[in-house]
Amino acid sequence: MSDSAHDLLKRVFGYDQFRGPQQAIVEHLVSGGDCLVLMPTGGGKSLCYQIPSLLRPGTGIVVSPLIALMQDQVDALRQAGVRAACLNSTLDFAESAQVERDLLAGDIDLLYVAPERLLTARFLDLLDRSRIALFAIDEAHCVSQWGHDFRPEYRQLDVLHARWPQVPRIALTATADAPTRREIVERLGLSDARQFVSSFDRPNIRYRIVAKHGGPKQLLDFLEPRKGDAGIVYCLSRRKVEETAALLAEHGFTALPYHAGLDSATRTANQRRFLRDEGVIMTATIAFGMGIDKPDVRFVAHMDLPKSLEGYYQETGRAGRDGDPAEAWLCYGMADVVMLKQMIQNGEAGEERKRLEGRKLDALLGYCESVRCRRQTLLASFGETYPQPCGNCDNCLDPPQTFDGTEAAQKALSCVYRTGQRFGVMYLIDVLRGKDDARIRQFNHHVLPTFGIGADLDQNAWRGVFRQITAMGLLEVDNEAYGGLRLTPASRAVLRGEQRVQLRHEPDRKRERERTRAR
């Protein structure tokens, strides 16, 4: 059988060889087994169900949540001579009826269906009267209510197995984290499915993280030597997307905004230009990117923190699909941490979800502050072991200098404590550095023993200390006090001198600038 799979690979898709686990997946599926496929975006998931659909008698039913992508896939398959069709809300009645007739007549090899359509009694009944080759559940992480792509209808897809137990199923996702994987197995009844887990490493992406001190200027420094390259700049808010696009345009870049607040015609037009024209920078919220297949994105820059490591991985993963060198650049500071923590706290979600989001953010902060190889840290968070430091991330290329920051941490913590655990970083730094300031005098903080005890470090260094000890969980953001900082249970051991704190030096600005500009 693998001969004919190979024939199809060559004849229909024009490729000489299967890539990675594709062949094993195809064989498993053709012989009737269920699979769970975890493969990074661009890894080649589609062939894993397209070829078996052609090899097995009947129609391959593909559940996909992305209508726009469905149409692209169907068009590409038809061009290759495959009898492909889709059923979704964009079809009128006559078109749908024709697809249904073709399905019953056995004239369709691959049928793409939106989940809500699949689950209608009418369609399930239609399937009862058709011959089904297999079920493919694409973007299977949509069953997870913790992810931001949650689709309630995905929860009901277990009906497929209940109703057609003899039909093999393949669930596919590029989401790597272990809890999501477990949830897919559980929700879709795939405990007996064979799991095919590819490496999620993206060797051509260089990871780089810098401390924020005037983000727009740093972004311009990063972009200047990359003029003419296509890239994505992610920002947290719509307003910042607009501001950043304007800033870049002012500096001679072709930059377009993309966020959910733009009308759909503008979004489509901007997306089209990004895909078609050369050297366009998309400044966007995370509304942009899912299903975008542009191979030559040379960089992904984050002006704000993503919400989790998984989000960071997905977003940076849009760079360098063509395999050529690409960069993932993230610029973050204390204010981002405060803002994200507040967004979680003030959000609508229930307590359990807030805790989970908090943990995800903490894992991301741990990654940002880590002195280890970024790639090792990132892949480890997906349960993957990367044997050696990668040599292609900032920490490998320019190992950060660390120092015993216990004393600095103690000073910072005691300043937080003595000022009443309700002030923000800038104020605390002013107190530590002994600034002559009306507000400080008004609060009588110029008489505190901590006043001026931090004059040995400059403002930038203190910012680094506060950011790092917050990322370590030694300080937390107090919501009632408008983002003021307060101690945590973990701070006590440090204050008492029972636990030492290792910190990384904030890099010299000039050096950092040189490195940012280097390619």
Chain residues binding ligand ADP by CB under 6 A are 15, 17-19, 22, 39, 41-47
Site string (395-424) toward Zn ion, x via CB under 5 A: -x----------------------------
CA dist., res. 260 & res. 245, Å (int): 15
CA dist., res. 229 & res. 227, Å (int): 6
Binding region for Zn ion (CB under 5 A) out of 71-79, 280-288, 373-381, 445-453: 373-381
Q: How far is the CB of 397 from Zn ion (least distance, A)?
A: 8
CA dist., res. 99 & res. 87, Å (int): 7
CA dist., res. 369 & res. 337, Å (int): 12
Q: How far is the CB of 497 from ligand ADP (least distance, A)?
A: 52
Residue 258 interaction partner, one of Zn ion, ligand ADP, none, beta carbon < 5-8 Å per kind: none
Nearer to Zn ion, 238 or 372 (CB): 372
Which residues have C-beta within 8 Å of that of residue 418, sequence separation ≥ 6? Answer: 445, 448, 449, 450
Nearer to ligand ADP, 42 or 58 (CB): 42
Nearer to ligand ADP, 15 or 386 (CB): 15
3-class state of residue 497 by DSSP: coil
Q: How far is the CB of 83 from Zn ion (least distance, A)?
A: 47
Q: What is the DSSP string of 25-75?
A: HHHHHHTT--EEEE--TTS--HHHHHHHHHHSSSEEEEE-S-HHHHHHHHH
Residue 393 interaction partner, one of ligand ADP, Zn ion, none, beta carbon < 5-8 Å per kind: Zn ion
Nearer to ligand ADP, 18 or 234 (CB): 18
Nearer to ligand ADP, 45 or 208 (CB): 45
CA dist., res. 97 & res. 48, Å (int): 29
Residue 47 interaction partner, one of Zn ion, ligand ADP, none, beta carbon < 5-8 Å per kind: ligand ADP
378 touches Zn ion by CB under 5 A = no
344 touches Zn ion by CB under 5 A = no
Nearer to Zn ion, 399 or 420 (CB): 399
Confirm if 494 and 501 have CB atoms less than 8 A apart.
yes
Residue 28 interaction partner, one of Zn ion, ligand ADP, none, beta carbon < 5-8 Å per kind: none
CA torsion angle 10 12 15 18 (round to 10): -80
Q: What is the DSSP string of 69-117?
A: HHHHHHHHHHHTT--EEEESTTS-HHHHHHHHHHHHTT--SEEEE-HHH
Rounded (to 5) percent helix, strand, coil in the chain = 45, 15, 40
393 touches Zn ion by CB under 5 A = yes
Nearer to ligand ADP, 226 or 294 (CB): 294
Q: What is the DSSP string of 338-375?
A: HHHHHHHHHSSS-HHHHHHHHHHHHHHHHHHH--S-HH
Phi-psi region of 478 (alpha: psi -120 to 50; beta: other; left: phi over 0): beta
Nearer to ligand ADP, 15 or 164 (CB): 15
Confirm if 203 and 322 have CB atoms less than 8 A apart.
no
Residue nearest to ligand ADP (CB): 44
205 touches Zn ion by CB under 5 A = no
Residue 66 interaction partner, one of ligand ADP, Zn ion, none, beta carbon < 5-8 Å per kind: none
Residue 469 interaction partner, one of Zn ion, ligand ADP, none, beta carbon < 5-8 Å per kind: none
Size of the site for Zn ion (CB under 5 A): 6
Structure tokens at 242: 């607009």
Residue 43 interaction partner, one of Zn ion, ligand ADP, none, beta carbon < 5-8 Å per kind: ligand ADP
Residue 19 interaction partner, one of Zn ion, ligand ADP, none, beta carbon < 5-8 Å per kind: ligand ADP
Residue 373 interaction partner, one of Zn ion, ligand ADP, none, beta carbon < 5-8 Å per kind: Zn ion
Nearer to ligand ADP, 42 or 473 (CB): 42
Sign of CA dihedral 74, 78, 81, 86: positive
Q: How far is the CB of 84 from ligand ADP (least distance, A)?
A: 14
Residue 41 interaction partner, one of Zn ion, ligand ADP, none, beta carbon < 5-8 Å per kind: ligand ADP
375 touches Zn ion by CB under 5 A = yes
Residue 390 interaction partner, one of Zn ion, ligand ADP, none, beta carbon < 5-8 Å per kind: Zn ion
Nearer to ligand ADP, 212 or 294 (CB): 294
Indicate the burial class of 481 (C-beta count within 10 angstroms; 0-12, 13-18, 19 or more): middle
8 touches Zn ion by CB under 5 A = no
Which residue, chain included where needed, has tokens 């940012």? 516
CA dist., res. 322 & res. 315, Å (int): 16
Residue 166 interaction partner, one of Zn ion, ligand ADP, none, beta carbon < 5-8 Å per kind: none
Nearer to ligand ADP, 76 or 178 (CB): 76
Q: How far is the CB of 17 from ligand ADP (least distance, A)?
A: 6
Radius of gyration of the chain (CA): 26
Structure tokens at 514: 């040189």
Q: How far is the CB of 138 from ligand ADP (least distance, A)?
A: 8
Strand bridging mode 205-211 / 326-332: parallel
Shortest CA distance to 43 belongs to which of 157, 199, 153, 147?
A: 199
Binding region for Zn ion (CB under 5 A) out of 163-171, 223-231, 372-380, 469-477: 372-380
390 touches Zn ion by CB under 5 A = yes
Q: Which residues bind Zn ion (CB under 5 A)?
A: 373, 375, 389-390, 393, 396
